[in-house]
Amino acid sequence: MKQILVTGATGELGTTVIETLLKTMKAENISVLIRNEERKIEFEQKGLKAFIGQYSDVESLEKAMENVDTVLLISSGDQGDRMQEHKNVIDTAKKKSVQNIAYTSRSLKDKNTLVNKLMLEHFLTEDYIKESGLKYIIFRNALYMDVLPLFVGKQVFEKGIIQPAGNGKVAYVLKAEQAEAMANALMTENFENQTFNFTGDDAYSFYDVATALTDLSDKEVIYKTVEVELFKKIMLDNGIPEPMVKKIVGFNLDIKNVQEATVTNELQHYLGRKPKNLKEGLKIVFNL
């Protein structure tokens, strides 16, 4: 039986991964890396091995990886030195004789033409894993459907959708379904240096999102695609900080350039059922 360490265990993705693992694995075979004592006690009461630490603290990583053969590296946020944090986890895994590593990357068409440069760190992390000599599974996850409320704003039913994404499409997936499929792969795969593109069964534009929200709410939602400069002005006038505006624009332009439209059946295979489509997912994330 594998001894799996799940990093980022208290986030939405990590929480669902652990819940899924516990359906078929003994709690004692799951270790978690967390940041606070309260959650440590909570996990230990369930029988898991819990360690307080973070990616920037190599000593804590070494303790968490004691007697572990498989590590799930859930990608770090982009607030700090994400690339160095990822390297710390990978280097420590190698030092502690971990056999297998899995990583949550992104399903994007062409790393060489990305506008959102933050996404490049995912591909750099993939390369670093491949160079490490560890056996790996790379989960290239589609954009989470759960972020759509953030993209379209709180007043979407009053003001509609304004984005500079043109008719670009995204193969959205609910975060919980991504996590469930990842956990199933972790339990069943032998880590033979695979890369999985976990995407939805179809790709959708913001026109499709607007139509689905209209049907679900009985309020007409219209999508208006605008030029980048006008979009920036609207965002800044609404009090959105400039770094956040830049990030949102990057996502939109990559969507427009078909970076997010890849569709595969790999998620469905590991999920064991068809993932929820756009309308089903929106009903959940918008509480409709």
SS (H, E, C) the chain: CCCEEECCCCCHHHHHHHHHHCCCCCHHHEEEEECCHHHHHHHHHCCCEEEECCCCCHHHHHHHCCCCCEEEECCCCCCCCHHHHHHHHHHHHHHCCCCEEEEEEECCCCHHHCCCHHHHHHHHHHHHHHHHCCEEEEEEECCEHHHHHHHHCCCHHHHCEEECCCCCCECCECHHHHHHHHHHHHHHCCCCCEEEEECCCCCECHHHHHHHHHHHHCCCCCEEECCHHHHHHHHHHCCCCHHHHHHHHHHHHHHHCCCCCCCCCHHHHHHCCCCCCHHHHHHHHCCC
Listed in sequence order, the residues at least 6 apart from 200 whose beta carbon sits closer than 8 Å to its beta carbon are 142, 145, 171, 172, 173, 263, 267, 275, 277, 278
Q: How confident is the model over 86-117, as pLDDT tens digits?
A: 999 999 999 999 999 999 999 999 999 999 98
Which residues neighbour 89 within 8 Å (Cβ) at sequence distance 6 or greater?
7, 55, 61, 71, 73
Does residue 43 contact residue 50 with C-beta atoms inside 8 Å? yes
Determine phi and psi for 181, rounding to 5 degrees. -65, -40
Residue tagged 């819940």 (tokens): 19
Residues 275/174, Cβ–Cβ less than 8 Å? yes
Query: Distance between CA atoms of 21 and 182, rounded to whole angstroms?
Result: 10
What local confidence, expressed as pLDDT, does residue 153 receive?
85
In this prediction, residue 277 has a pLDDT band, given cuts at 50, 70 and 90, of: very high
Average pLDDT, the chain: 95
Read off the pLDDT of each residue in 173-192 and give the average, rounded to a whole number. 96
Q: How confident is the model at residue 78 (pLDDT cuts 50, 70, 90)?
A: confident
Q: Tell me the per-residue pLDDT of 2-35, one tens digit each, with 9 for 90 and over.
A: 899 999 999 899 999 999 999 999 999 999 999 8
In angstroms, rounded to a whole number, what is the distance separating the alpha carbons of residues 123 and 228? 26
| Torsion sign across C-alpha atoms 108, 109, 111, 112 | negative
Please state the pTM of the whole predicted model. Answer: 0.94
- Cα–Cα nearest to 12, from 204, 145, 207: 145
User: At 106, phi and psi to the nearest 5?
Assistant: -130, 140
pLDDT classification of 1: cutoffs 50, 70, 90? low
